[in-house]
Structure 1
Amino acid sequence: MLKNRLYYEDPYQKQFRTNVIKESKDTEGNPYVVLENTAFYPTGGGQPHDTGSLNGIHVVNVEEEHGEIRHFIKESLECEDEVKGEIDWERRFDHMQQHAGQHILTAAFVELFDFPTVSFHLGRETVSIDIDVESITIEQLNAAELLANDIILEDRPIETKWISEGELIDYSLRKDVAVTDEIRLVIIPNYDTNGCGGTHPSSTGQVRMIKILHTEKQKQKVRVHFVCGERVLQQLEQKNLELTTASKLLSVPEAGVAIAIEKLLQTNHSHEKMLKESKELILAYEAKALLTTQEHGVIKAVYENRNAQELQKLARVLVTETEDVYIFLVSENERQLHFVAARGALNSISMKQVSANVFPLIDGKGGGSDAFVQGAGKNLISAIELLSVMQESLNLRTNS
């Protein structure tokens, strides 16, 4: 029976002894054992599995498959009949705090605003619930957090009770249960009653505190991210470190960090605008210089470490300046070749001929139109050779 499992009989039990029923491997070759009874909680109901050890061998995962709890271990127990199990208590109690905190916060949203929770996820660093509403205000979040922490401060008992399906009528549940056999209720008197198979502390006070971190839209729902217990202190320590570091870097008091960052962003935006304008001006001058190199209606150039965007901008400036020219630009960047081929408005030969001839030689890809193509590939030939192939693709006159 479920209720006889050790993690339900006493979620505070850290050590236990039991017998091995089965030792085997899953389809991927991972060794596991099945025990007569266990204090290890298997993954389920949004709560992750316990970890710990069996006879000193690390338990890395616990899953329930076909009614049996499989304890996945790093190495075989070598057919030992009796084992001593030890639970990673820090991990277990953290999960107990987070799961109980989820019940408390979820009930707060229902109590105050009739906002139902439809899913729950207990992650490594934060916890989240998906609430079945399209939006939640800051005021509503603050009110739910305040009520949840009041319930914690009151240190109400957290009770568990096993009932049958016929007894459900005697309880007002927050939502319908998904099972019909061995129904387990988690009850915070005069506040919340919910069907749940997770582990929880014996009172709300042991959750210590709840802090909502942020929210995000999740389709037609709102995902609320929060932390409980020791995780609140971890978040506070992390954020305090970041704030202190930012304060020192900006040479402002912590209370002025946000204003200083805003000013810095404004300055950065201004500098980016000036830099962009400078680059455009440099490209214009560079284009004028290239125009003087035109021979037989062709302008070509080879560069090192220029990105595709710069080549494209330069080519567009050139075809704007003169309408009867063909442009061939190549840049060699570490292990790649980038190229651009363009034509002026008075020319009619399709630049797609260039890319069709070039791609097989450099194992490349790209795209474009009849008037403008670009691409990149491996440096299987030199940049000079690539430039020559591009020009020859259009049967244009080359220099001897």
Structure 2
Amino acid sequence: MAFQCQRDCYMKEFVTSVVSCCPAELKQEVNGKKETLKGFNVQLQDTILFPEGGGQPDDHGLIGDVPVLRVTRQGAEAVHFVRSPLEVGQEVQVKLDWERRFDHMQQHSGQHLITALADAMCGYKTTSWELGRQRSTIELDTPCVKPSQLQALEEAVNEKIRAHVPVTVQLLSIDDPAVEKVRSRGLPDDHAGPIRIIDIEGIDANMCCGTHISNLSHLQVIKLLGTEKGKKNKTNLIFLAGNRVLKYAEKSYSTERSLVSLLKTGPDDHVEAVDKLQKSVKLLQKTNLSLLRDMAVLIAQSFKNDPQRGKVFSFHKKEGDNEFMNIIANEINTEETLVFLTVGEEKGPGLFLLAGPSGLVAQLGPRVLEMLQGKGAGKNGRFQGKANSLAQREEVQAFLQEYCKHHTSEEE
């Protein structure tokens, strides 16, 4: 069975009736978190909302004023997930999210065109493809694609677009001999009804259930962004078709203008300007590290030269790292002194180091870790890790001083 969306891919509104409505759940991911929505699975007499298939995502739209969040195919039927129930038998108007659909049509037909020409020009077969939210990928059965081949392929696909080549749909019975001559990766196990063929005149005939443009001119333009190494000695070809190329150009121009403002150079000089900045940053980082090391030594020496120094040395600095803290600890005789060091935001996350006599550090380390809400471990008189919050740093310092004072009193 072919749905109305497959018979007329350009239809944006459609009147039909509700066949069934059953309680259902939809599992989806929102902002990285999985959630389950309660709603209803609705079947219509026919639909202009395409259920996902053939590598193409499903359509979105409205049934009456009820948003359709997902459309899937179950055998010969399309199932629409909605949050509100619909009355069985009622006549409803279905409205399509045309911008989403037309984007999918452009990417899908673009994939067919690229696949056909990549095979004809280079002998590279397509083994799979993905219609992504921002860019699409074709997996080619070759370990690499040469830059010259990529350029020739891009020129060829855009030449076919300028030639206004028609794209038509044929419906063939499964036992029609013509089916054997059609490019295909096989039918799904639950396929029902005639075989649907997408025919790009003189270029490609491919078995496909998806929605497609009616003429290659509707693709507008195709841009091959490049290739990436794929799985199992294959190559992923990345492309944009139609309106996505325009959006990509607009975004690239906006980025270019921002870089002109930041770097104070013209677009042609951006790479050189960023290279100079990176070298300057590396030099500054090297200088800063050297200064931190010198500072660490001076901090330790200042403590050692203080005649009023106690049994506990505590120090905090916003800037620094583990090496900075370890240099201070190495300069101080931790067999006689308990050293507590932290770096990072005073009330935020950071790093900590507790150094001193092995037995004492092993005993106090877990308590310090708990007070700083952190993660860490220790051995050989050093206990260090990450603190989720340094807000209790002063409490830790007071705890260590009180412990050492009490411990010393007992020894005396």
User: TM exceeds 0.5?
Assistant: yes
Which position in structure 1 is the counterpart of 2:206?
194
TM-score normalized by structure 2? 0.83
1:41-120 equivalences in 2 (<5 Å): 41-65=50-74, 67-79=76-88, 81-120=90-129
Which position in structure 2 is the counterpart of 1:253?
266
Q: Which moved more, 1:287-296 or 1:123-132?
A: 287-296
Q: Does 1:370 align with 2:368?
A: no
Distance across 1 between alignment mates of 2:350 and 2:103: 53
Which of the numbers 303, 316, 340 marks the counterpart of 2:327? Answer: 316
Which position in structure 2 is the counterpart of 1:178?
187
Which position in structure 1 is the counterpart of 2:216?
204
Which of the numbers 323, 339, 357 marks the counterpart of 1:328? Answer: 339
Distance across 1 between alignment mates of 2:409 and 2:141: 69
For residue 269 of structure 2, what is the amino acid of its counterpart?
Answer: G
Which of the numbers 277, 294, 303 marks the counterpart of 1:264? Answer: 277
Q: Does 1:355 align with 2:368?
A: no
Which position in structure 1 is the counterpart of 2:135?
126
Distance across 2 between alignment mates of 1:154 and 1:259: 41
The gaps in structure 2 that reach 5 residues or longer are 26-36
Distance across 2 between alignment mates of 1:128 and 1:390: 63
Q: Which moved more, 1:214-223 or 1:183-192?
A: 214-223
Which position in structure 2 is the counterpart of 1:285?
298
Which position in structure 1 is the counterpart of 2:19?
21
Listed one character per residue, the Cα deviations across residues 348-375 of structure 1 (whole Å, up to 9, x for unaligned) are 6474333244445555431232242213
Which position in structure 1 is the counterpart of 2:32?
none
**Maintained 8 Å contact 2:22/2:42:** yes
Q: Does 1:239 align with 2:252?
A: yes
**Maintained 8 Å contact 1:357/1:389:** no
**Maintained 8 Å contact 1:340/1:372:** yes
Q: Which moved more, 1:15-24 or 1:161-170?
A: 161-170
Distance across 2 between alignment mates of 1:266 and 1:362: 37
Q: Report the secondary structure of 2:176's partner residue.
A: helix
**Maintained 8 Å contact 1:296/1:397:** no
Distance across 1 between alignment mates of 2:411 and 2:352: 20
**Maintained 8 Å contact 1:18/1:82:** yes
Distance across 2 between alignment mates of 1:133 and 1:88: 37
Change (3 A) 1:239 1:318: same
Distance across 2 between alignment mates of 1:217 and 1:392: 63
Q: Which moved more, 1:37-46 or 1:164-173?
A: 164-173
For residue 255 of structure 1, what is the amino acid of its counterpart?
Answer: D
Q: How far is the alpha carbon of 1:87 from its aligned partner?
A: 1.6
For residue 124 of structure 2, what is the amino acid of its counterpart?
Answer: F
Change (3 A) 1:109 1:16: same
For residue 162 of structure 2, what is the amino acid of its counterpart?
Answer: L
For residue 14 of structure 1, what is the amino acid of its counterpart?
Answer: K
Runs of 4+ in structure 1 off by over 6 angstroms are: 294-297, 396-400
Q: How far is the alpha carbon of 1:81 from its aligned partner?
A: 0.9
Which position in structure 2 is the counterpart of 1:339?
352
For residue 155 of structure 1, what is the amino acid of its counterpart?
Answer: H
For residue 283 of structure 1, what is the amino acid of its counterpart?
Answer: A
Q: How far is the alpha carbon of 1:330 from its aligned partner?
A: 3.8
Q: Report the secondary structure of 1:333's partner residue.
A: coil
Instruction: Calculate percent identity across the aligned residue pairs.
Output: 27
**Maintained 8 Å contact 2:334/2:355:** no
Change (3 A) 1:398 1:126: farther
Which position in structure 1 is the counterpart of 2:231?
219
Change (3 A) 1:358 1:44: same
Q: How far is the alpha carbon of 1:385 from its aligned partner?
A: 3.0
Distance across 2 between alignment mates of 1:79 and 1:123: 35
Which position in structure 2 is the counterpart of 1:301?
314
For residue 243 of structure 1, what is the amino acid of its counterpart?
Answer: E
For residue 186 of structure 1, what is the amino acid of its counterpart?
Answer: I
Q: How far is the alpha carbon of 1:214 from its aligned partner?
A: 3.9
Q: Report the secondary structure of 2:38's partner residue.
A: coil
Which position in structure 2 is the counterpart of 1:157?
166
Distance across 2 between alignment mates of 1:12 and 1:305: 61
Change (3 A) 1:171 1:273: same
Q: Report the secondary structure of 1:38's partner residue.
A: coil
Q: Which moved more, 1:151-160 or 1:286-295?
A: 286-295
Listed one character per residue, the Cα deviations across residues 262-302 of structure 1 (whole Å, up to 9, x for unaligned) are 22222222222222222222222223223334889955214
Distance across 2 between alignment mates of 1:168 and 1:324: 89
For residue 151 of structure 1, what is the amino acid of its counterpart?
Answer: K
Q: Which moved more, 1:379-388 or 1:223-232?
A: 379-388
Q: Which moved more, 1:378-387 or 1:78-87?
A: 378-387
**Maintained 8 Å contact 1:315/1:327:** no
